[in-house]
Amino acid sequence: MLTTLLAFIAAIIVVVAVHEYGHYLAMRLFGVRVLTFSVGFGPRLLSWRDRHGTDFVISGIPLGGYVKPLDRHDSDVPDEDRAGEFSGKPAWQRIITYAAGPLANLVLAWFIFWVILLGGETALRPIAGAPEPGSAADLAGFRHGDIVLAVAGREVDDWNDVPAELMRHLGEQAPVPVTVGRGQETATLALDIGAWSADPEQHPFPVLGLKAAAQPPLVGAISDDSPARQAGLQEGDLVLAVNGEEIASFGDWVVLVRDNPGRPLETRVRRDARELTLTVVPEPVEQAGETIGRVGVAVAGLKKIHYGPLSAVPAAAERLWDQTSLIVGAMGKLVTGKLSLETLSGPISIADAAGKTAAVGVVAFLGFMAFLSVSLGVINLMPVPMLDGGWIVFGLVEMLRGRPLSDRFLANAQVMGMMFVFSLMMLAIYNDLMRQFA
């Protein structure tokens, strides 16, 4: 619980602070006087004032933030301060200022993807196992050994690509065409993802009955100073049995290791033409509040993709584009009714995801932060009054008509926008609670 809370707070603070800092930089660029820069709402926990007179605040409720400029709509502005007043700036400057927050979120996400890619990627070839009888994958005609080549015409390189591509078709009525390789031939299978569209919070594979082929218990890369290294295991060893129990797949071996932290495991392996018995003691590791065992071995057959600082730049941009298009597509399906409003998630689901990814590791948590940052950026560009996108639209209208919109219209629009956003937030929280108690 504590890990979940701390991970949630850390993610929200970083993503919100970057968003508001984008607005802040744009205001400073155009000579706007910034009165307050706040991360969070409610009671002040920490505050300080810089030499420009801006109060920087960290507040007690980490569910957003704001930048408050000097503005005639909030208070009377003396004539000598008019040069630093926000609403008096040209419409194009205000448009850039509103767009700077979401843009900062997208830049942050790109930077996180770049950092992740510098550490390299591990790819597992998408070879399917036998599908669950009667499942969508079974009815589509999947067979053991099928190699997934493309989803709806988009090529996939590893198993991680498959759910990402299927996600693009959530809520659609037509089955998704999946191209698979079978020996020297290919086949296109029609996969009905309706069951997953009804419950998109779940991973698609168990819902659709799609399985990855079991990997043989073949030792891959071994970490330095790991229990496997200390026991004498070598890359290429085939694990035959543990404590007299035969091992059929790498997954079976992982389960035994996980369930026996700190306990000696008599491990029989085949190395070249001979068999050896080695004693491996899994290292106890804390994960998601429980102690599990690890020996520091990767599954053989994984493909490691390395990136340099320059080659990671376009790869990170491609990752950003994929995430952005997925979120935009999902929002469009919510508007058109192809996706149910029950799929909306609120702060409880976000906190849960933050805790789970933090428990998995730094890379998973960074990936979650990138997704959260893209989501915040895209959502704020929606053309809804109160959100950045709404004010951008009003600025464009002002430029087209050659004069500002009336203060009364803007005030009424903001109230309507606030009601809309508040209603969506309440619906998202309701959905969260229903998932927690379902």
Same domain, 232 and 344: no
Quick check: is 97 in a domain? yes
Question: Are residues 27 and 1 part of one domain?
Answer: yes
Grade residue 27 by pLDDT with cuts at 50, 70 and 90.
very high
The one catalytic residue in 20, 85, 165, 283 is: 20
368 assigned to some structural domain: no
Do 111 and 152 lie in one domain? The reply is no
Q: Percentage of the chain surpassing pLDDT 70? A: 98
My answer on whether 288 and 335 are in the same domain is no
**Cβ 122 vs Cβ 130: under 8 Å:** no
pLDDT of 163:
86
Res. 1: pLDDT tops 70? no
- The answer to whether residue 393 sits within a structural domain is no
Domain-terminating residue out of 346, 362, 378: 362
C-alpha to C-alpha distance for 91 and 399, rounded to whole angstroms: 6
The reply to whether 104 and 48 lie within a common domain is yes
Q: Give me the domain span that covers residue 259.
A: 219-300
**Average pLDDT for 70-86:** 83
Residues 84-112 pLDDT 10s: 899 889 999 999 999 999 999 999 999 99
The answer to whether position 383 is within a domain reads no
> 199 phi and psi, to 5 degrees?
-145, 65
Of 274, 300, 326, the domain-final residue: 300
d(CA 342, CA 432): 9
Residue with the two structure tokens 């082929």: 213
Pairing assessment for the beta strands 265-271 and 283-287 based on DSSP bridges = unpaired
Same domain for 245 and 334? no
> What tokens does 358 get?
């933090």
Q: Write the CA distances from 193 to 26, 149, 178, integer angstroms.
A: 44, 18, 11
Q: What is the mean pLDDT of residues 117-122?
A: 83
146-199 pLDDT per residue, tens? 889 999 988 888 888 888 888 888 888 889 999 998 878 899 999 998 888 877
- Same domain for 1 and 112, yes or no, is yes
pLDDT at 388: 94
Model pLDDT, residue 331: 86
Mean pLDDT of the chain, nearest integer: 87
Whether 167 and 257 map to the same domain: the answer is no
Domain finish residue from 300, 318, 335:
300
Task: Provide the 3-class DSSP secondary structure of residue 156.
Answer: coil
Q: Are 383 and 393 in contact (CB under 8 A)?
A: yes
Q: Do 172 and 338 meet the contact criterion of CB atoms below 8 Å apart?
A: yes
Q: How many residues does the chain have?
A: 438
**Residue listed under structure tokens 């219209």:** 409
The answer to the question of residue 396 being in a domain is: no
**154 and 229 together in one domain:** no
Q: Based on the domain organization, do 296 and 336 belong to the same domain?
A: no
Are residues 100 and 8 part of one domain?
A: yes
- 374 assigned to some structural domain: no
| Contact (CB, 8 A) for 249 and 218 | no
pTM value? 0.78
- The amino acid at 142: F
Residue pair 184/214 in contact by the 8 Å Cβ criterion:
no
Question: For the chain, how many structural domains are there in total?
Answer: 3
Structural domain contains residue 190: yes
Q: What is the CATH number of the domain that holds 199?
A: 2.30.42.10
**More confident site: 61 or 266:** 266
> Is residue 342 annotated as a catalytic residue, yes or no?
no
Are residues 102 and 1 part of one domain?
Answer: yes
Residue 382 resides in a domain: no
